């Protein structure tokens, strides 16, 4: 294949339809052909390099082409490429399930140990699995009235129809609304919405009170509450107090509905603990994992659940209770080996400890922005940091979406060699864990320049 970046971009635009993109934008925005990647950097065919400040949509956990993951994949490719997981199994799928069950968030103050693993092949399909499992569980118990889900305002769970139904980001959901399940949206504990003088914990407690009222009215028809623990990522990196999780677990138990924790974006150390649920001391009934699971190399997802759910499906074939959901690449051996290598690095190397130091460095570098008259908030949870741009700091009035201020930050980032992909007016960082303090300094410097340009 040619290495000429201009020719590659032209050929791309002639045939490839890109995700999450108005293709017309590429009449003025350059398409960037990437030739290779290493660590925190993407290398373009144009000889330029780009710091991957968003870890390629939050997948690339440890850095690109981590040597242990590359070695595991090469080894696996020489043994077994793929086999369907129905009727057949293989060591990588078994070992990965054993490891996931071992490291799953323990039910310190609520929930049950997660002991069963159902594989899927991307984040959205993991959500579909969790929704279907929860619905089907209640049906297997004879509770046919339970057909609804509770989701939080501002949530994002993916773009297949089930996952999109429990998503509350208008940009993605609105067009398809006539096709979607109708969940009940409960107010998010998002600390951005705290009343003046109200702490994040008090805001979370108030939102739990509102959720209680919803459950009092609707629990009989609800299968599960679906939540992104600690950070609502695609909804604008909005963050909430960890106390919400314990309160949510208690409400789910009290009203006998499932808790689905979507840790697709926040799992595997992103928020400072291996899983975000740990900070609330809870185990959900369904834990959805994907993205960083394979260190950003291959598509894989896993849904973990506990024994009570598994047993509700376990019966003679004639009972019709089986969960017949399937994807062709379920539990792909290559993806499972990549995941095992990723988890080995997290287990054997002081990754979380290093992340704490990196997160503190990032926080210090972002501190000056807190006083900026058009920065509504600088917020951070572990290795996720976000800067919310506003027209007026006092009123927090947002910039109109049509002004596309974030796009200016994106363009400046590309010019300077940093991949920043703001979510509307929210500039954020979710870098690979291999990023160095110097690279953080560069990333923040370029973001600050981009913000200055965007606010002109």
Nearest distance from C-beta of residue 265 to ligand PLP, angstroms: 4
Nearest distance from C-beta of residue 349 to ligand PLP, angstroms: 25
Pick 39 or 235: Cβ nearer ligand PLP: 235
Nearest distance from C-beta of residue 56 to ligand PLP, angstroms: 11
Whether the Cβ atoms of residue 447 and residue 418 lie closer than 8 Å to each other? yes
Degrees, nearest 5: CA angle 9-15-16? 75
Nearest distance from C-beta of residue 156 to ligand PLP, angstroms: 6
Nearest distance from C-beta of residue 114 to ligand PLP, angstroms: 18
- Contacts with ligand PLP by CB under 6 A: the residue count is 14
Which of 34-42, 226-234, 269-277, 393-401 is the region at the interface with ligand PLP (rule: CB under 6 A)? 226-234
Pick 248 or 264: Cβ nearer ligand PLP: 264
Task: Report 227-266 residues binding ligand PLP (CB under 6 A).
Answer: 228, 233-234, 262, 264-265
* Binding-residue pattern over the window 75 to 114 for ligand PLP, x denoting contact by CB under 6 A: ----------------------------------------
Task: Report 109-168 residues binding ligand PLP (CB under 6 A).
Answer: 122-124, 127, 156-158
Nearest residue by C-beta to ligand PLP? 123
Pick 20 or 23: Cβ nearer ligand PLP: 20
φ, ψ (nearest 5 deg) of residue 258: -75, 155
Whether the Cβ atoms of residue 111 and residue 282 lie closer than 8 Å to each other? yes
Pick 219 or 274: Cβ nearer ligand PLP: 274
Pick 45 or 64: Cβ nearer ligand PLP: 64
Nearest distance from C-beta of residue 386 to ligand PLP, angstroms: 14
Nearest distance from C-beta of residue 264 to ligand PLP, angstroms: 4
Whether the Cβ atoms of residue 148 and residue 223 lie closer than 8 Å to each other? yes
Pick 157 or 337: Cβ nearer ligand PLP: 157
Nearest distance from C-beta of residue 291 to ligand PLP, angstroms: 6
CA distance 398 to 358: 30
* Binding-residue pattern over the window 399 to 438 for ligand PLP, x denoting contact by CB under 6 A: ----------------------------------------
The full 3-state SS of 17-59, as one line of letters, equals CCCCCCHHHHHCCCCCCEEEEEECEEEECCCCEEEECCHHHHC
Pick 100 or 375: Cβ nearer ligand PLP: 100
Nearest distance from C-beta of residue 234 to ligand PLP, angstroms: 5
290 binds ligand PLP (CB under 6 A): yes
Pick 8 or 276: Cβ nearer ligand PLP: 276
Could you tell me the CA-to-CA distances from 337 to 104, 300, 312 in Å, in that order? 18, 11, 30
Q: Give the binding site for ligand PLP (CB under 6 A).
A: 122-124, 127, 156-158, 228, 233-234, 262, 264-265, 290
């Amino acid at each position: 294949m040619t290495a000429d970046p201009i020719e590659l971009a032209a050929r791309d635009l002639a045939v490839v339809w890109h995700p999450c993109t108005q293709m017309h934008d590429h009449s003025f925005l350059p398409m960037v052909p990437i030739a290779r990647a290493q660590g925190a950097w993407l290398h373009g065919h144009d000889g330029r390099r780009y710091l991957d400040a968003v870890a390629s949509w939050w997948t690339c956990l440890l850095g690109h082409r981590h040597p242990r993951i590359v070695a595991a994949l090469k080894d696996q490719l020489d043994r077994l490429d793929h086999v369907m997981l129905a009727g057949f199994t293989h060591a990588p799928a078994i070992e990965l399930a054993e490891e996931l069950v071992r490291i799953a968030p323990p039910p310190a103050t609520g929930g049950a140990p997660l002991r069963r693993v159902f594989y899927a092949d991307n984040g959205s399909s993991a959500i579909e699995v969790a929704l279907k499992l929860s619905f089907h569980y209640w049906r297997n118990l004879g509770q046919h009235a339970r057909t609804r889900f509770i989701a939080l305002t501002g949530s994002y769970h993916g773009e297949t129809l089930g996952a999109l139904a429990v998503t509350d980001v208008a940009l993605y959901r609105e067009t398809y609304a006539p096709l979607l399940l109708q969940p009940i949206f409960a107010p998010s504990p998002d600390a951005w919405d705290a009343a003046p003088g109200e702490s994040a914990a008090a805001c979370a407690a108030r939102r739990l009170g509102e959720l209680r009222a919803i459950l009092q009215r609707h629990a009989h028809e609800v299968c599960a509450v679906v939540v992104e623990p600690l950070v609502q990522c695609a909804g604008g990196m909005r963050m909430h107090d960890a106390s919400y999780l314990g309160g949510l677990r208690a409400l789910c138990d009290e009203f006998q509905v499932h808790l689905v924790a979507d840790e697709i974006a926040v799992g595997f150390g992103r928020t400072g603990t291996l899983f975000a649920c740990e900070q609330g001391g809870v185990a959900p009934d369904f834990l959805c994992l994907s993205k960083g699971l394979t260190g950003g190399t291959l598509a894989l997802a896993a849904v973990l659940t506990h024994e009570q759910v598994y047993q509700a499906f376990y019966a003679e074939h004639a009972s019709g209770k089986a969960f017949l959901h399937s994807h062709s690449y379920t539990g792909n051996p290559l993806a499972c080996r990549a995941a095992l290598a990723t988890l080995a690095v997290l287990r054997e190397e002081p990754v979380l400890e290093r992340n704490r130091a990196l997160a503190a460095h990032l926080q210090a570098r972002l501190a000056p922005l807190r006083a900026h008259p058009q920065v509504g908030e600088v917020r951070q949870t572990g290795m996720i940091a976000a800067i919310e741009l506003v027209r007026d700091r006092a009123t927090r009035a947002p910039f109109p979406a049509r002004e596309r201020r974030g796009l200016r930050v994106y363009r400046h980032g590309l010019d300077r060699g940093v991949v920043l992909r703001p979510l509307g007016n929210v500039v954020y960082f979710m870098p690979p864990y291999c990023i160095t303090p110097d690279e953080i300094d560069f990333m923040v410097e370029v973001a600050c320049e981009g913000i200055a340009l965007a606010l002109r």
